Structure 1
């Protein structure tokens, strides 16, 4: 039994000194400024317990497995500890430790073996006392620290964490710093998990009030890599802290002039950030550091691993990815280009962590399967795994293509130079990639030129086989998909346990993703054939109008994906024949309409038939957080009401027969003989592949609808198990975290992560998402992103009358109407009270927006391309459409009068009521 301190060897400290002392020993011997300290090891408590006859009771307490029994035993032990005499050797050892610090005011802190570990902090579970002065007071406070190892809060914590009870506790004695300011600095954001954010909390005077929650501290978020201050929140400085008087703390009143000022200067924040980086580098993991500043500078009072952020490995990567980036380790200075292009068709606006992480993982697995299907093997396949897993990224809740990797993906198939140009059109990329960059992007490399020639020849042969056999491959896929889909879709997920739903989810996930990979060759074939057709049009018809190529390419008017819009139009026509039904539809809130339809059983049956056929669809249907029409049919009634208003003004929508006939007439007049036969054969191939793609995309929609039902069963289960507070919280988890709930991972951090992500989402809502930006290396953060266009929406000026916004023509026709800028399809009401159809202006669209098309006078899309799903359907339905108009959703406001020319690809802002006022 001896006093331990910085001089003690590491093994003795580890065995006897407890978590706080372990941290102090490491920091002190790492060369950092630490106030003088000593520690009374657990052997001192064991000697005290033995002298007092408490050893059997302590051992029995540690063996208890029932919470109520442990609480009773702990209360008895605390009572016996309070009245037990300290033996002479124990008293002398404590006095010796106090003398080594020069007497005076000290801090007395518990230091339990399990405390401040890599997985559990035990923060606040054991007692600490400040401003302890005099030998007798130190003896009393040491006894109190021992007793806190048996406190009710520490017992409940250990049971909740499934950890052993504390039992014997060491006690740290440390010289008290006469602090001007003190606080905590974390080297990663402990709530969000963001690894490049240093979070500094500071109060005047001693810092115990901060960690106890008694004081509202200043909070500063600093970008670790650059030292840039990202965010500052000043606390209420009525007093520096006000903890309980029995802990020996002082309350320092703050001068009136200090109350509106930050606690720390810019130089002190910079110094703390530098200190935090050094400590994290020394320890190898993010650190939670207590510090104090006096007249001599900064002191480190304690440093321990952060346990409240997501810990280590893949989990940490995914937690960071949810905040920003793709979780990719990018070499210093290496370029990444982020483009939202037509990914916003699938994942529009703010997208939940569960949807993003699910999609990112599936994309990686699918495209690795695609590479294998084309014969990529060995080291080349392993090279693809480095970039297929990071094809997507998430920034401020928005999903982006990690664009350079998509060029690598295109390079797997032959015809890279042609395919990459068509890829840019298919993705809706505004800015083609420079050749000097594009030509360096290889999906993999080879050791020898011969190996490259052999492998690329084998890939080309496989690709050509797929090219000529794609029709049969698609039919086989569809047959297998619907076999699996029909099985899982028929199950009753409302009656399943969470474990059963999770097993079903894992089974269908493995089955369908494995089948999807080889089918990605369809996208490559469509790129190749479309590129050849556009090239052939320029070669055979160099003077052809721009609209011709778009008009002659298409899957046909009978595509499956247009069926929901036609069925909705039929529902609206049915309503229009019945005045009573029309009145009900127009006067009843959409959320209540389904129940009210009991008075109209025939129409109710038609609605049920629609829901049975298309109920898996929804607005933003690929977002797992968005309920489908079966779960919430209100969206259906909103669209039926809108379609009805449009029908009354314009009649049934449909394709423009004149323009299609005009295209055929142009071909007949300018293209004959063998060249026409070649052209028509290629045109038919493109149309078939486009139709196949629409059918496959419908399968994807159905699969996501099925997965939604499984996840909802798991979400309800996690609430019932008290893992989450409410059902919607499940969507703030990543898919890895959700799996962990059913595979034995510790669920304790999840509530904190959910809370932090909700708060971050509220902030992200206010920001403009730029269409494209770049980053260098992995060390980017909020300050760098702000410089690339992530600014508040209010910073973008409104367009004035006469402004002509140019984009890409997508569906011909010209109309005039009032704008309705919609973030979601259900925001679109179709017609105003005067019965005038509106121009639907959207940042992006996904297949769920098809339901809104019959209600729109025209469609204007900021992001997307003429080859996207909604653009194709808009052409089939005859809705004039312009896409790829930069910043249109920021420059146009709801109520503005617009003239949309789908042939010229222009949107003109007209004078009139509502222009620019947001009404």
Structure 2
């Protein structure tokens, strides 16, 4: 037996000294400032146990395989160890260790072999004693540490993880630092799994008060790379704990000015961050570091691997998705804009939805470029930006805007098309001309090659314009053939692998067909731009609403069908008092059952017909995590209740009729025929686009149903905890589950992403922000508006909010501010954004006020056809307007006025 310490051979430390001592030895070996320490190795305990006659009992304990007998035997051993004296050679080694430390008071800490390991920390399972004074007290605390190896909590911890029990514990003796402040530092964020952050918790006085929860700590999150402070939470620091003259602590009040001040100075935070970085590099894994600061500086008391990190890096997977996944050169700018993307992906969007959408967008637009006969070399260049057309920040989806300008540049007419793109996307801030002109989709080796390619692309594009009606007819026929075949399948039957195989077929077939159809978006941009220019030329005094009305898709547009069907259902409800009572007074999720139980066969058949025809619809219908009406019909009854409140009302006249009247008054002859020809072509393309978007919704519905089969399969196999966790995977991770990849750790990854979602929900998502270079850290994002939500003052009477007129008409009424189309019942629907699933709620609204979006978004188009006055792009509408405020919505001039309570028409 011998005292072990920094002077010992590393092999002996590994064999006898236990986990804490191994950590201290590594710190010392790395040149870290560590308080003096010494170790009583496992061989010392073995001799102690032999002297006490416990060797056989300990061996029998270690061999037990059932928990209850182990607990009983552990209690016997614990009492025997604590009561046996240190004597003879054991006491001599112990006394030498105390002398080696050479200080009073000291800390006495357990150091079991399995403790502080890479996989299992045993944190808190064994005893530690601070402020130990005198040899007699130290001897008692050593026995207590040994005895804690047989404690109930340590035994249960070992059995729960199928680990060997700690039958041969070691003990560390260490000089106690009279800390002014102390705490812990994590070299990765343990809550979110972020590897680029250091989290430092600090208290006044002894750190044991932090560990025990006796004192509330300051917590500071620091960017690991550059030391930028990302987040600070100040604790309620009313006291600190210091060693007393005996064996315990003394509680002291903290001065009033220190309670509200940070525990650590900026210099101390910087030094601790440096130490954390160095220790992680030296130890080769994220570390949990205990530290203390006295009058001489920073001491590191111990460092161990973080075993409960929320998201271990599994085969390159990370918990937090940020940016678009592209490598951005230093100093190169990116613009992120949520524009009308929030119509499709509102609020926080799951990793599976975002990565699926980004993957499909990339492949579809590459297919679009190929369909326009872009040369192979230039097509390869698009691979640098088509996969990153979308980005995600704190769970919110954004356009990677500069790349969308590049995409528009594939087709001819870029100067005009990009202006229409900005209107179509609802971009509030047009791109400066000098920047827009530099955004080329690809480059050529020579001018001749560029001109030859442009001539070929233009010829193909013009041919597409001429034949777009036939293209759409062929696409629809083929799409619905595939859709009908899919819809007839029994989706309860396939296994997970079968569902995955079907998903890959659907995904491949739809993307292959969709790429060429993206030319429709380009054609609509071109035709809308030409209509705009012709309007300015022939009708220079036309009102702003006129352009949007004159190129509408027509009253018979397919996307308005769900709203009309909902209006008819609402009429049937109001015609039957019993149905009215059921819909109005029953929870939406229970209405379906009430209808089945009652004598409402005819109405139930109409409801089931609606679900059969439009069951793929839902709020946030492009978000894979959102169930459609077939999975959860409760949303239908929520919208039906709202629509039934206005079942007797009629919507206003179509704005296209007013546009016709305006044309009759201001245009005739050849000019009118020319205008009508362009108008007709543009309107047909607008209708085609709406139909294509309906197909997209149905396609996502197919994918939703297959993913739900896979989610249930992964949960049944134990890969995930529950079915819904599948939405926390990326599409690449989901595919890997069925392609032989290692799925270990996915549950931890999912837990980390759920924690991130909770944090992200507290942040404001700016409509537009810029980044430069590869740094997308929290500090940079906070500077761009990613800050915690703060209360926004309500608008007062007389306030006029301005936006873009989208559907003409003037309406006064109460505001109903919603994040889903429910309980509008004749009010003015005010929303931050809408998505195509909201169209069924339009019959229940007298007017629409939408903060984000454009006049060319799906709901705005349908609102025009239904005659619902609409103003879009109304800044701060969803935060400054409150439910119950009386508003005047002017869809002609694009204003929303807050009226005083007494104001009436």
TM range (shorter): 0.7 to 0.9
Structure 1 distance, partners of 2:253, 2:138, is: 32
For residues 467-866 of structure 1, the aligned pairs below 5 Å read 470-471=468-469, 473-493=471-491, 508-509=506-507, 512-513=510-511, 515-539=513-537, 541-542=539-540, 544-597=542-595, 598-648=598-648, 650-651=649-650, 655-656=654-655, 658-662=657-661, 664-665=663-664, 669=668, 671-672=670-671, 676-677=673-674, 682-712=678-708, 744-747=743-746, 749=748, 752-753=751-752, 756-757=755-756, 759-760=758-759, 763-764=762-763, 767=764, 769-779=765-775, 785=781, 787-790=783-786, 795-826=791-822, 828-831=823-826, 838-866=827-855
After superposition, give the CA deviation of every residue in 1:590-617 in whole Å (9 maximum; x if it has no partner).
3433233232211111111111111221
Asked whether the 8 Å contact 1:547–1:809 carries over to 2, the reply is yes
- Worse overlay, 209-218 or 457-466: 457-466
CA distance in 1, matches of 2:172, 2:454: 67
- Is 1:874 the equivalent of 2:863? yes
In structure 2, the residue matched to 1:178 is 178
Structure 1 unaligned residues grouped into runs of 5+: 243-247, 832-837
- In structure 2, what is the equivalent of residue 834 of structure 1? none
Bigger mean CA offset, 184-193 vs 150-159: 150-159
Do the aligned partners of residues 132 and 800 (structure 1) sit closer, same or farther apart at CA in structure 2, a change above 3 Å counting?
closer
CA distance in 2, matches of 1:25, 1:389: 48
Task: Check 1:761–1:724 CA distance in 2 against 1; reply closer, same or farther (3 A cut).
Answer: farther
Per the alignment, residue 235 of structure 2 pairs with: 234
The 8 Å contact of residues 3 and 97 in structure 1, kept in 2 or not, is answered as yes
Decide which of 367, 392, 402 is 2:390's aligned counterpart. 392
1:299 aligns with 2:299: yes
Question: Deviations along 1:156-179, whole A, 9 cap, x unmatched?
Answer: 656766888888777655333222
What's the counterpart of residue 882 of structure 2?
A: 893
- Structure 2 residue 228 is matched with structure 1 residue 201: no
| 1:877-904 residue CA offsets vs partner (Å, 9 max, x unmatched) | 1112221122222332222332222222
Residues in 2 aligned to 1:168 and 1:464: alpha-carbon distance in whole angstroms: 83
Q: Distance in 2 between matches of 1:81 and 1:131?
A: 25
Contact 1:61-1:74 within 8 A present in 2 as well:
no
Q: CA deviation at 1:568?
A: 0.9
Distance 1:704 1:281, change over 3 A: same
Closer, same or farther: CA 595–654 of 1 in aligned 2, 3 Å? farther
State the Cα distance separating 1:658 from its structure 2 match: 3.0
Once the two structures are TM-superposed, the CA of residue 285 in structure 1 deviates from its matched residue by 5.7
Secondary structure (helix, strand or coil) at the match of 2:293 reads strand
Structure 1 residues 521, 82: closer, same or farther in 2, change over 3 A?
Answer: farther
Summarize the Cα distance change of 1:588–1:458 in structure 2 as closer, same or farther, 3 Å threshold.
same
Which of 317, 337, 345 is residue 343 of structure 2 equivalent to?
345
1:427 shift after superposition: 0.8
- Residue aligned with 1:749, SS: helix
> How much has 1:38 moved relative to structure 2?
5.1
Q: Which residue of 2 aligns with 1:220?
A: 220
**Structure-2 change in CA distance of 1:737 and 1:122 (3 Å):** farther
Q: In structure 2, what is the Cα distance between the partners aligned to 1:889 and 1:686?
A: 33
Following superposition, the deviation at residue 823 of structure 1 comes to: 1.8
Deviates more, 1:75-84 or 1:274-283: 75-84
Structure 2 unaligned blocks of 5 or more: none
CA 1:189 to 1:586, structure 2 compared with 1: closer, same or farther past 3 Å?
same
Question: 1: CA distance between counterparts of 2:306 and 2:88?
Answer: 40
TM-superposed deviation, 1:90:
8.0
Name which of 390, 403, 406 aligns with 1:405: 403
Cα RMSD, aligned residues only: 4.7
Counterpart-to-counterpart distance in 1, 2:903 and 2:715:
46
- What number of residue pairs does the alignment pair up? 891
| Aligned 8 A contact 2:240 2:253 in 1 | no
In 1, Cα distance between equivalents of 2:378 and 2:147: 62
- Relative to structure 1, is the Cα distance of residues 21 and 752 closer, same or farther in structure 2, using a 3 angstrom cutoff? farther
C-alpha deviation, 1:211, in angstroms: 3.6
Query: Do the aligned residues in 2 keep the contact of 1:46 with 1:55 (CA within 8 Å)?
Result: no
**Aligned-partner SS, 2:875:** coil
CA distance in 1, matches of 2:504, 2:144: 51
TM-score between both structures, scaled by the size of structure 1: 0.82
For 1:230, what is the secondary structure of its paired residue?
Answer: strand
Pick closer, same or farther for the CA change 1:914–1:506 going to 2, 3 Å.
farther
Alignment partner of 1:903 is 2:898: no
The Cα shift of 1:429 comes to 0.1
State the secondary structure of the residue aligned to 2:346.
coil
Does the CA contact (< 8 Å) of 2:17 and 2:111 recur in 1? yes
> 1:427: which partner in 2?
425
Does 843-852 or 384-393 show the bigger shift?
384-393
After superposition, the C-alpha distances for 1:205-235 in whole angstroms (9 at most, x for unaligned) are 3323534556543433445546446332414
Cα drift, residue 199 of structure 1: 2.4
Paired with 2:519 and 2:893, the residues of 1 have a C-alpha distance of 33
Query: Against the structure 1 CA distance between its residues 573 and 80, is the aligned structure 2 distance closer, same or farther, given a 3 Å change threshold?
Result: closer
User: SS of 1:895's equivalent?
Assistant: coil
Is the Cα–Cα contact under 8 Å of residues 103 and 134 in structure 1 kept in the other structure? Answer: no
d(CA) in 1 for partners of 2:459, 2:495? 48
C-alpha distance in structure 1 between counterparts of 2:6 and 2:349, whole Å: 50
Cα distance in 1 for residues equivalent to 2:70 and 2:168 = 16
In 1, the alpha carbon distance for the partners of 2:162 and 2:451 equals 58
Q: Is the 8 A contact 1:207 1:241 kept in 2?
A: no
